[in-house]
Amino acid sequence: MWQSTRVIRKVPKSIGSLKHLRYLNFSHTKTRCLPEEVSELYNLQSLLVDHCYKKFAKLINLRHLDISDTPNLNKTPIGIGGLTSLQTLTKVIIEQGDRFKIWDLKVLTDLQVHLSIMGLDKVVNPIQANDANLPQKKGLDVMVMEWSNVFRDSRNETIEYEVLNELRRPPNLKKTQHFV
């Protein structure tokens, strides 16, 4: 098998001019951050990244976003909740403030196969978990739910239990994993 000895470290800003590009894979590269110009690729349907990205709001045709092997990713990219065509979204990180919230999953009705939800400890109201409307995601087979490793004294087990109950399983789910 042929392997290139060149390693991609930086993506040129000119990538934004590839308006008809539909598939982009930056897995296993040394790329740390994609330029803002990637958000101009309106026809992009599949994007595989390993590290970071800033905005996704304009990628309205994006169907596949694989960020599964991104241990350094600690925030869900901005605009993910508005990408209603997404079928593959391997990981979301629930945050406070104006970032990704659990209810942002509501409009992502076409999600399939696998979804990891991290940062569930930031969901403070169980009704918000219900708003994620997971039962409508009939294509999900595997779901991983993770609470952050925060100080035990600051956690409320009652709220965590209620959040878990309100998330309600998608109908075709075959495997669930919980991590605390």
Give me the residue label for tokens 């982009």: 24
> d(Cα 46, Cα 80) in Å, to the nearest integer?
13
Per-residue pLDDT band at 51 (split at 50, 70, 90): low
CB under 8 Å to 162, separation ≥6 — which residues? 126, 129
Convert the pLDDT of each residue in 127-171 to its tens digit. 999 999 999 999 999 999 988 776 666 778 888 889 989 988 888
Cα separation, 54 vs 67, whole angstroms: 13
Contacts of 118 (CB under 8 A, 6+ apart): 91, 92, 93, 94, 146, 148
Per-residue pLDDT band for 1 (boundaries 50, 70, 90) equals: very low
pLDDT at res. 151: 61
C-beta of residue 41 within 8 angstroms of C-beta of residue 21 = yes
Confidence of residue 27 (pLDDT cuts 50, 70, 90): confident
Q: Is 167 exposed, middle or buried (0-12, 13-18, 19+ CB in 10 A)?
A: buried
pTM of the model: 0.75
pLDDT > 70? residue 53? no
